[in-house]
């Protein structure tokens, strides 16, 4: 027994030792993965390959570890618009880059303003004499807007173009609520504040329809003008208004129809496109795959031209001009990036109080959110303003409701003609279920010391006093909103009220009525801020106030994105339309979650979200969760 015991202890010791060795090796491997970064030295002479296999956004979202690991799908790849623009502009100045190869095969889109700004960068690249060669299977509005700025547009023989324009259908639940006997108590101010209409009506109100027709009509005109300017031979009317005739003219061949409408230049598969790129950029000496060409991928190029500080701040001489990004729905907590958590953004602004910023540019790309979160961000901006520095607002795709609330802190507001803004109005929705429960014999009773005792009672209903209190709170919030706009824009309150009422405006109209000062992108806003701070060119640089991205996030994205079991996104026309149809179920869940997940008074423009950004793969608004996994992930934040 003694000998056997010694042998057993020896085996246990060996097992423990091997376990320790493997554990150390595991952590070493994790460290190596987390520390990995594209090698700037890997930049090669040839083409800059921009394979946009995801969405273009103002600010990439954070990956929630548990959600990502236990999800059945890889996280959607998100590209920061300013990083893409910076990459294209630097490529124009670098002799190693002979061309841009723009692969839009799995592109999921982005906001109108972002597409226009990237398109302008492609134009600057082409003016150096270098070509932009674009390939895709199915071209839609967003991808076509980018492709229009290319030297050559290639379409796969199995593909084509489908231009739909802004607009579409919303879901309305009044009939369902009547059948289920659910009461949606709506508290709002604003004739045009249509975000709550799905819970009140069975269809769009005349006021909301009037606003949507004007807004979408203007955006569609801007889209067509942009494409026609970049690609004069494009026959957009044929491809959008005479669809039957257009398709019949090519015997149903959508790729051929795209050529006939001037939307594409060449029909060819990806291999043929790659061979053509190789004729300009050179052949790949290390890869003999058909269609391969000498290239530098986007991540490697970005690593080479940007500092390793995680914020992509452009270093330079002189004084820094701060840039704070407010992207996504505004909430009260620490959410983000990708969602505008007021606590997180306020901390970034307050931490920068000691940075001796010469000016501050506030980049807004948000449909709004909670009133309290919007006000917290506005106050944080004012703390910077109290230092006596210029505050300039740069509006992206959308700066409406709470997004406009925070913009009132600026000295000057820049926007684009395609920016969606305004939506000056406030609402709140609280559902109660007393009638639904009464059908099954469930009632409520109790003792109240005041009319507000036990309120809001979701199972027993709201008292008249509670309804009065809540509506008064919304009314007061709206008056507060009007006052902020009145002082910021130097308008009488009555004038602000007349252009408010929840109405949404495009950037061109907003400039005419005084909600916006001038047209311009982020760079224009930075230049103006520098001039106001009396800084000459070359004596300042932008300093982006942002959280450094977690290496854990990037590792998750890499690991999950390489999952061989992840179903690839459909690339043809049927797949494109099927994907949009599948989003309806997610939208229903999002609406239900929004109804039951009340966060207080909201200055939110839901119609703005639908008209400016691609469908979220999860179908849920930022800050919401539909699963236990998502809830657990948030608890671990």
* pLDDT tens sequence across 570-620: 456 555 555 555 555 566 666 666 666 666 677 777 667 545 544 444 334
> Is 398 domain-assigned?
yes
- pLDDT score for 253: 94
Give the residue from 44, 52, 135, 120 showing the smallest Cα distance to 86. 120
Count of the separate structural domains present in the chain: 2
Residue 267 sits in a domain whose CATH number is 3.90.226.10
**Confidence (pLDDT) at 87:** 96
Residue 628 lies in a domain: no
Token readout for 119 is: 């398109």
Please tell me whether residues 283 and 332 are part of one structural domain.
no
Query: What local confidence, expressed as pLDDT, does residue 330 receive?
Result: 94
pLDDT of residue 309: 46
Same domain? For 399 and 541 the reply is yes
Residue whose token pair is 């067509």: 224
Q: Are residues 385 and 237 in the same domain?
A: no
Domain that holds residue 360: 319-545
Q: Is 310 contained in some domain? A: no
455, 460, 466, 471: CA torsion to nearest 10: 120
Q: Would 128 be classed as within a structural domain?
A: yes
Residues 229 and 339 in one domain: no
Is residue 229 domain-shared with residue 135, that is, in the same domain?
yes
438 plus 294 within the same structural domain: no
What's residue 95's pLDDT?
94
For residue 524, the surrounding DSSP H or E stretch is: helix 522-532
pLDDT at 70: 53
Q: 566 CB contacts (<8 Å, ≥6 apart)?
A: 73, 74, 560
Pair 465, 391 in one domain: yes
Q: Provide the b/e sequence for 15-24 (b: ≥16 CB within 10 Å).
A: eeeeeeeeee
SS3 content of the chain, % helix, strand, coil (to 5): 45, 20, 35
In a domain? residue 561: no
| 366 and 498 together in one domain | yes
pLDDT of residue 190: 75
Q: Which of 193, 256, 543, 620 is catalytic?
A: 193
Q: Known catalytic residue: 164? A: no
Q: Does residue 193 have an active-site annotation? A: yes
Of 366, 401, 407, 611, the active-site residue reads: 401
β-bridge mates for residue 153, sequence order: 134
- Per-residue pLDDT reduced to its tens digit, 446-500: 888 888 888 878 788 888 888 888 888 888 989 999 999 999 999 999 999 999 9
Mark the ranges of the chain whose per-residue pLDDT is less than 50: 31, 33-38, 308-311, 561-570, 610, 613-637
Q: Is 581 part of a structural domain of the chain?
A: no
Q: In 131-218, at which residue ranges do the beta strands (DSSP E only) sit?
A: 132-139, 152-161, 183-189
User: Closest Cα partner for 534 from 321, 232, 322, 312?
Assistant: 321
Name the domain boundary from 545, 566, 585: 545
Determine the pLDDT at residue 565.
Answer: 43
> Which is nearest to 98 in space by CA: 136, 130, 68, 126?
130
518 within domain boundaries: yes
Last residue of a domain, one of 253, 279, 305: 305
| 332: DSSP letter | S
The answer on 522 and 447 residing in a single domain is yes
Q: Are residues 411 and 483 in the same domain?
A: yes
Token readout for 469 is 């209190």
Same domain, 478 and 334: yes
CA dihedral sign of residues 411, 417, 419, 425: positive
The residue among 252, 281, 305 that closes a domain is 305
- Name which of 382, 397, 398, 387 is nearest 346 in CA terms: 382
On whether residue 633 sits in a domain, the answer given is: no
Q: Does residue 427 sit in the same domain as residue 494?
A: yes
Q: Find the helix or strand (DSSP H, E) in which 497 lies.
A: helix 493-499
């Amino acid at each position: 027994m003694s000998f056997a015991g010694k042998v057993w202890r020896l085996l246990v010791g060996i097992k423990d030792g091997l376990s320790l060795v493997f554990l150390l090796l595991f952590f070493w491997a994790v460290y190596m993965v987390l520390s990995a970064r594209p090698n700037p030295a890997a930049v090669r002479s040839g083409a800059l390959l921009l394979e946009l296999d995801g969405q273009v956004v103002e600010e990439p979202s954070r990956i929630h570890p548990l959600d990502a690991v236990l999800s059945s799908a890889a996280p959607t790849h998100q590209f920061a618009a300013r990083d893409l623009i910076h990459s294209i502009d630097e490529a124009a100045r670098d002799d190693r880059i002979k061309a841009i190869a723009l692969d839009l095969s799995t592109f999921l889109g982005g906001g109108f303003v972002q597409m226009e700004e990237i398109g302008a960068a492609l134009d600057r690249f082409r003016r150096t004499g270098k070509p932009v060669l674009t390939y895709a299977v199915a071209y839609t509005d967003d991808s076509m807007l980018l492709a229009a700025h290319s030297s050559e547009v290639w379409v796969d023989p199995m593909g084509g173009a489908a231009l739909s324009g802004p607009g579409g259908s919303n879901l309305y639940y009044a009939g369902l609520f009547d059948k289920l006997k659910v009461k949606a108590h709506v508290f709002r101010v604003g004739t045009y504040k249509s975000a709550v209409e799905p819970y009140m009506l069975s269809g769009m109100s005349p006021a909301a329809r009037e606003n949507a027709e004007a807004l979408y009509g203007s955006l569609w005109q801007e889209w067509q003008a942009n494409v026609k300017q970049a690609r004069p031979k494009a026959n957009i009317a044929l491809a959008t208004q005479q669809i039957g005739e257009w398709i019949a003219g090519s015997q149903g061949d959508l790729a051929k129809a795209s050529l006939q409408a001037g939307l594409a230049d060449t029909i060819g598969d990806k291999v043929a496109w790659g061979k053509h790129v190789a004729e300009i950029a050179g052949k790949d000496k290390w890869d003999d795959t058909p269609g391969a060409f000498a290239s530098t991928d986007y991540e490697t190029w970005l690593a080479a031209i940007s500092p390793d500080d995680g914020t992509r701040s452009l270093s330079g001489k002189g004084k820094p001009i701060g840039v704070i990004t407010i992207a996504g729905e505004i909430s009260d907590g620490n959410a983000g990036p990708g969602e505008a958590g007021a606590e997180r953004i306020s901390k970034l602004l307050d931490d920068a109080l000691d940075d001796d910023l010469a000016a501050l540019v506030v980049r807004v790309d948000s449909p709004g959110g909670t009133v309290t979160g919007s006000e917290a961000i506005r106050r944080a901006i004012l703390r910077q303003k109290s230092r006596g520095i210029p505050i300039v607002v740069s509006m992206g795709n959308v700066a409406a409701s709470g997004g406009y609330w925070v913009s009132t802190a600026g000295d000057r507001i820049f926007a684009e003609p395609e920016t969606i803004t305004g939506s000056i109005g406030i609402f709140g929705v609280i559902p109660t279920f007393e009638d639904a429960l009464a059908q099954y014999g469930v009632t409520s009773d109790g003792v109240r010391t005041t009319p507000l005792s036990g309120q809001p009672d979701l199972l027993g209903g709201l008292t008249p006093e509670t309804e009065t209190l809540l509506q008064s709170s919304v009314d007061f919030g709206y008056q507060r909103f009007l006052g902020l706009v009145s002082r910021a824009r130097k308008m009488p309150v009555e004038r602000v009220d007349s252009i408010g009422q929840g109405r949404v405006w495009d950037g061109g109209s907003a400039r005419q009525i005084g909600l916006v000062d001038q047209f311009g992108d982020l760079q224009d806003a930075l230049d103006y801020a520098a001039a106001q701070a009396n800084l000459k060119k070359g004596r300042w640089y932008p300093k982006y106030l942002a959280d450094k991205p977690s290496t854990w996030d990037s590792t998750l994205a890499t690991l999950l994105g390489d999952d061989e079991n992840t179903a690839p996104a459909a690339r043809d026309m049927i797949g494109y339309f099927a994907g949009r149809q599948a989003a309806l179920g997610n939208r229903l869940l999002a609406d239900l979650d929004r109804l039951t997940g009340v966060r207080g008074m909201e200055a939110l423009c839901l119609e703005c979200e639908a008209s400016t950004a691609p469908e979220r793969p999860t179908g849920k608004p930022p800050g919401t969760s539909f699963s236990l996994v998502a809830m657990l992930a948030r608890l671990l934040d």
